[in-house]
Amino acid sequence: MRLLIQGPRLDNYLAKCHEALRTGLAAIFDTRFFGKGYAGYGIGKFRCHDFPSIVRNLFPDNAPDWIFTQNIQKSPWELVPRYPGLEKISAKKAILLADYWLLAEKNLEGLPRFVETYDIDLVFSYFPQPLEIWAQTIAGPKLRYLPPTFNPQLFNDWGMPKIYDIGFLAAGTVDPVKYYPERQHIHQVLMAQKDLHYLWAPHPGWKHHGKNAPLVGKRFSRSINSCKMFITTGGIWGNANPKYFEILASRSLLLAEEPVGAEKLGLLDGVNYVKISQEDVLDKIHYYLEHEDLAVEIATKGFELVMTRHNCYARAAEFFMTCLDEGVPNAAGRKTA
């Protein structure tokens, strides 16, 4: 399958899930990229100003089967294509919806309007809630749940010494964030415990970071890997954010709020992660410090779960099967992993 991915290169952006998905897609499809940071962008023939010219230049012989664009949010509540002419492309078209909440609050009609105007075939969403929010609109039948993923070259078991009892690195811990009130509460509780070796730090910022930035990418995974247990929460929406998968992949015992859609993700309390609340998190920490063998067993099962079902190559296969259900003009173009 020939795939055109449009959007800026994101391998040095804080959130590694975006580029992880592209890494998986590029491994199994004839994938070509167009966006700032990719080879040739803005040079010679790659100075394209609309989607038809992008397609002609990247696929001069055979048109792509699918166009996948992540670069659709001009603001958190406004959807605008980066280049004109998307609706003129005969290839099937998919977009990715990430931070849906402000769009749902401030511009509910924005997504259906975008889907209709630009003849979008599929809307992939990192979270399941949009499938319900827009169910009764023209976008409803086109929405598909495609959870965040991770690149095992960045998130893995690095065999780090477990020098911390517990870690919690997330927006809303040190500096309050209204969407995550539980995080600051938990952080303050943990800060008051003198008997716990606790790893925490200010959030590094939603921006681009060099490969040597502390607590970003592989260095973030190694920090998680150095903790016996690691916390994340879903905030007011109950989202299974990327850290759910990144913590499990970094082979630390995941202590987390039960996210929406936990069963579909294979998350089972006491089996491959531990369900917590801000009221019982401290009790859970002490319990698993006293039952270290059980903690290791659960962490191992969590690691096996994500390495099997949620790594970027498995997620790319989900993407392919979803596209296949919609019809692919030339599925024979698929490469082998």
What element of type H or E holds 32?
A: strand 30-34
Same domain, 236 and 100: no
Q: Which of 12, 2, 27 is nearest to 336 (CA)?
A: 27
131 with 99, same domain: the answer is yes
User: Does residue 159 belong to any structural domain of this protein?
Assistant: no
Q: Please check whether residues 15 and 94 belong to one and the same domain.
A: yes
76 and 108 co-located in one domain: yes
Domain assignment present for residue 157? The answer is no
Spatial distance between the Cα atoms of 142 and 131, rounded to a whole number of angstroms: 9
Number of structural domains, the chain? 2
Residue 155 belongs to a domain? no
Over the stretch 29-85, which tens digit does the pLDDT of each residue have?
999 999 999 987 877 656 788 999 999 999 999 999 999 998 787 777 889 888 999
Integer Cα distance of 4 and 137 in angstroms: 27
Residue 301: strand, helix, or coil: helix
331 pLDDT exceeds 50?
no
Tokens read off for 321? 């099967």
Q: What is the tens place of the pLDDT at every residue in 263-306? A: 999 999 999 999 999 999 999 999 999 999 999 999 999 999 99
Radius of gyration over alpha carbons of the chain, in Å? 21
Instruction: Judge contact between 122 and 322, C-beta under 8 A.
Output: yes
pLDDT per residue as tens digits for the range 117-155: 999 999 999 999 999 999 999 999 999 999 999 999 999
**118 plus 187 within the same structural domain:** no
Same domain, 137 and 191: no
